[in-house]
Amino acid sequence: MNDNEHLEQEEIFSQVLRAGRRTYFFDVRATKAEDYYLTITESKKFTHDDGSFHYKKHKIYLYKEDFVEFNDMLKEATNYILNEKGEEVISERHQKDFKRPSDGAEETVSGSESFTDVNFEDI
């Protein structure tokens, strides 16, 4: 198989979902027996302090015999999340320094001092 045939084989069907720093690729490919399977690739951009960047990629191979069960489980999991947490996005950008709002652990004394419960397992 020459390079052109290889490229044509890999471009059977493709969709791209851009989602912030992540990009998802849904690519239909062919096996040697000419059957189709799906690859789902997550590509995430990381920027270094000097401004240069690199991508980390994770790939899932999904074959036809698993489509129905995979689809069912994906629907069940996404429906669970939407039912439990709704469709509101808490943070458009999942920041490393995100902190949950205080749930009463902090109390203010004399207007400027505050106390925080300490979990000694963290020390």
Nearest by Cα to 32 from 5, 58, 71: 5
pLDDT tens digits, one per residue of 55-91: 899 999 999 999 999 999 999 999 999 999 998 877 6
Residue 22 lies in a domain: yes
Residue 22's domain comprises 1-83
Q: What is the pTM of this model?
A: 0.62
Question: Domain total for the chain?
Answer: 1
CA distance 74 to 12: 24
- Phi, psi torsion values for 72, nearest 5 degrees: -60, -45
Residue 94 lies in a domain: no
Residue 17 lies in a domain: yes
The CATH number of whichever domain residue 25 belongs to comes to: 3.10.450.700
Residue 115 lies in a domain: no
Write down the pLDDT at residue 96. Answer: 61
Residue 64 lies in a domain: yes
Write down the pLDDT at residue 107. Answer: 45
Residue 117 lies in a domain: no
